[in-house]
A and B are shown apart, each in its own frame.
Chain A
Amino acid sequence: MTSELFAAAEGGNVQVGEHPQWHILGLTINADTVISTGIAALIVMAFALYLARTATGKVPTRLQLIFETVTEQVERQVESNLGIRTAPFVVPLAITLFFFILIANWLAVLPHAWEEYIRPPTADVNLTFAMAIFVMILVWITGIRVKGRHYFKHFIEPYPVLLPLNLVEELTKPITLSLRLFGNILAGTVMVSVLALMPAFVQWLPTSAWKLFDLFIGLLQALIFALLTILYFAFAAAPQEEGTH
């Protein structure tokens, strides 16, 4: 069985990182990623607008309770790591990241037959890079605005000799942030593709089990991305420097 699977994979039936593409004005655009990102964005925005209309201080809906729980956790994290007053915009940013990544990841549970166009968009580096680089640029700007010239001091701490290492570490942050998410979700889709090579009368069982597990991974990765975002802001702009990690 296993050898058959590998044989099938080597035979070219499992495609990793292949995308249907549009070519517009000499630019290459991954069609499936754009479509699925749009769907995830529409879902999140629909929830947001629904919340805006129904949010109440009396008896909240379940959606509002979920949103409130996330908001509260995010506020607590930001407050304890960074101080909300230092960078108040981190709270909506982290909330948006969490929900958007969560919905995007959970698109993975849609049936295999649609996978050509609605794959989880986080399985494409374009989305994860976009989010990670946006976050890191904001982190650097915030760090410089809050601390001024002192922000650059942490690059030569504890010793000036470590300047290259510190620079590499800082530049690694967006890469690890994006590739962690991308790798986890891509692995999920690859796993589904591999399971699809099994005969139809057995594949439903491992596929269902895997997709349930994928839901958990999707939640975990969304959480990690949002939490690390807050922590990076904390490292950059916290009132006292906690070290260079």
Chain B
Amino acid sequence: MSSYYLAAAGGGGNLFLIPNATFFVELVIFLIVLAVVWRYAVPPVKRAMDERRNMVRRQIEESQQASKRLAEAEARYSQALADARVEAAKIRETARADAQEIKDEMRHQAEQEVARIRERGEEQLAHQREQIIRDMRSELGNLAVTLASRIVGESVADDARRAGTVDRFLDELHGMAGADSSSRGTASPSNSSTDSAGDGVVTARNGRRRR
């Protein structure tokens, strides 16, 4: 060890600031290291860095796209929901209108039916009345004449007079029937002479009307 120091001892104290031939050896070693790092280490690492950077960028883009798609899907969903609500409201509205229409229709039909039934009833009534009057016209005369001839004892067989009497009676009856709706009480005493037959007809008619 001391021999090495002896070799340097002659140079004095500041020898170590002066470079010697070691300089060139060092330079060569450094250049070799530089070449190796430059040639072998830097390119793959840079490539790896670029690759990772691209991957991150791609992932960011993908996540942005995904969130955009999500937003679109949400928009579509709410749009569909709103459409469905509108549709439902429309259907409800239509149903209500239909129901109203059907109700009106049915009411109209019922009214027509009622009117028709009433009309027919009235017709029937009028018909029956005609019938009764015709019957009475034929029978009442005979009956009354028979009755009267028995009571009075005189022959009322004279056709002309008899017909006149019966007609007069029937006219009265008719007139009474025309005013009968006002009251039965007034009609009843006025023709007490014709008694229960006419009275019964009027009563029956009144009763049927009321029903």
Q: Which residues of A contact B (CB under 8 A)?
A: 15-21, 27-30, 33-34, 37-38, 41, 44-45, 47-49, 51-52, 55-58, 60, 64, 67-68, 71-72, 89, 91-93, 95-96, 99-100, 116, 121, 124-127, 129-131, 134, 179, 186
Contacts and interface: CB of A to CB of B under 8 A. Distances in A.
User: Does more than half of chain B's interface fall in helix, strand or loop, or is it mixed?
Assistant: helix
Given A18-B4, A19-B4, A91-B42, A130 B23 contact: yes
Contact of B49 (A47, A48, A72): A72
Interface residues of B, number: 40
Contacts of A19: 4, 8, 16
A74 B16 CA distance: 32
Nearest to B32: A41
20 contacts: A19-B16, A21-B8, A37-B30, A41-B29, A41-B32, A41-B33, A44-B36, A44-B37, A49-B41, A56-B48, A64-B45, A68-B45, A71-B42, A93-B38, A96-B33, A116-B1, A121-B26, A125-B18, A126-B25, A127-B26
B151 interface: no
B46 interface: yes
A95 B38 CA distance: 9
Given A41-B30, A57-B55, 17 more contacts: A17-B17, A27-B20, A33-B22, A51-B41, A52-B41, A55-B48, A57-B49, A57-B50, A71-B49, A96-B38, A100-B34, A100-B37, A121-B26, A124-B22, A127-B26, A129-B23, A130-B23
B51 interface: yes
Contact of A125 (B16, B50, B52): B16
Contact of A38 (B23, B29, B38, B50): B29
A30 B34 contact: no
Contacts of A44: 33, 36-37
Nearest to B17: A125
A179 B25 CA distance: 19
Of B1, B16, B26, most buried by chain A (CB within 10 Å of CB) is B26
B50 to A, nearest CB: 8
Contacts of A127: 22, 26, 30
Contact of A92 (B19, B42, B44): B42
Interface string B42-81: 1011111111100100000000000000000000000000
A67 B22 contact: no
A126 B22 contact: yes
Contacts of A134: 27, 30-31
